[in-house]
């Protein structure tokens, strides 16, 4: 039975991922800041984790090491956003976005790599967003955090192939989740017009779950994935087809990894 670590399992996509992989025979380790909200299952273990705290991450890793817990798959799902222009956000609000969406996942991954390297094959998956490609006003800092995460993920996709650790990013269109979208303290002082209702091309949480299962069943998964027709069409408008994958393979050859 493979063990999969999923961050942010108490709501939205994380909750769907947790339930989906339990039904598909995985042992799930979930993390959340609200442990009491997660249901019980014989193959589910839930731990408190605050991605803005190095100590919280260190405590989790120390437990894994003490119990000799090995992990086959990591899904970085937890995230936060403020719906406000960058110049309206307080510095601490900007830092919070990057702490949860970028610095936390990067630090957690660094701590997890020794465990992943012990496996003959493992997967590291980052839930990004289509706004990393198609930038939206009022989500500039959030989009920047996702773009930064993808950049580091790409580097790891090149270098970690040596240990058969396959790194993938997923860029969905908006999903019907209750992801934590916060409001800036300064929203009443904004000189900009209020954000009007935008017609969103919603994609399904179940499509993300099924896509990740397909990725895990592949011997050599790709780096970049979209979840549906809308996100796929968006990427094709902004990027040449398979540009990431072709560049990834070129760099792997250059670094003598293939």
Do residues 171 and 129 touch, judged by C-beta distance below 8 A? yes
pLDDT over 70, % of the chain: 88
Q: pLDDT value at position 90?
A: 93
Q: Could you report the per-residue pLDDT of 152-181, keeping only the tens digit for each?
A: 999 999 999 999 999 999 998 776 555 556
Instruction: Give one word for 138, left, alpha or beta, with left for phi > 0 and alpha for psi -120 to 50.
Output: left
**Report field, pTM of the whole predicted structure over 0.85:** yes
Do residues 168 and 224 touch, judged by C-beta distance below 8 A? yes
Residue 204's CB is within 10 A of a number of other CB atoms, namely: 15
3-254 adopts what CATH topology?
Rossmann fold (3.40.50)
The two tokens of residue 67 are 């119990």
Cα 164 off chain centre by: 20
Stretches where the chain sits below pLDDT 70 are: 37-38, 175-183, 186-188, 195-202, 256-258
Q: Write the DSSP symbol of residue 184.
A: -
């Amino acid at each position: 039975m493979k063990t999969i670590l999923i961050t942010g399992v108490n709501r939205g996509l994380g909750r769907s991922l947790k339930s989906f992989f339990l039904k598909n025979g995985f042992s799930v380790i979930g993390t959340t800041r609200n442990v009491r909200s997660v249901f019980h299952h014989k193959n589910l273990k839930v731990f408190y984790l605050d991605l803005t705290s190095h100590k919280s991450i260190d405590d989790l890793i120390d437990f894994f090491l003490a119990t000799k817990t090995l992990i086959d798959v990591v899904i970085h799902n937890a995230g936060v956003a403020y719906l406000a222009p960058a110049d309206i956000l307080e510095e601490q609000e900007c830092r919070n976005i990057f702490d949860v969406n970028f610095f936390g996942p990067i630090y957690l991954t660094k701590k997890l790599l020794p465990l992943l390297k012990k496996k003959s094959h493992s997967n590291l998956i980052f839930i990004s967003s289509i706004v990393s490609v198609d930038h939206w006003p009022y989500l500039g800092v959030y989009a920047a955090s996702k773009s930064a995460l993808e950049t580091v993920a790409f580097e790891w996709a090149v270098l970690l192939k040596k240990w058969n650790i396959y790194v993938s990013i997923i860029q969905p269109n908006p999903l019907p989740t209750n992801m934590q979208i916060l409001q800036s303290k300064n929203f009443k002082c904004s000189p900009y017009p209020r954000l009007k209702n935008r017609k969103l091309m919603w994609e399904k949480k179940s499509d993300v779950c099924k896509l990740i299962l397909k990725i895990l069943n592949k011997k050599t998964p790709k780096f970049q994935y979209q979840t549906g027709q809308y996100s796929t069409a968006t990427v094709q408008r902004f990027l040449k087809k398979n540009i990431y994958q072709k560049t990834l393979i070129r760099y792997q050859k250059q670094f003598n990894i293939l």
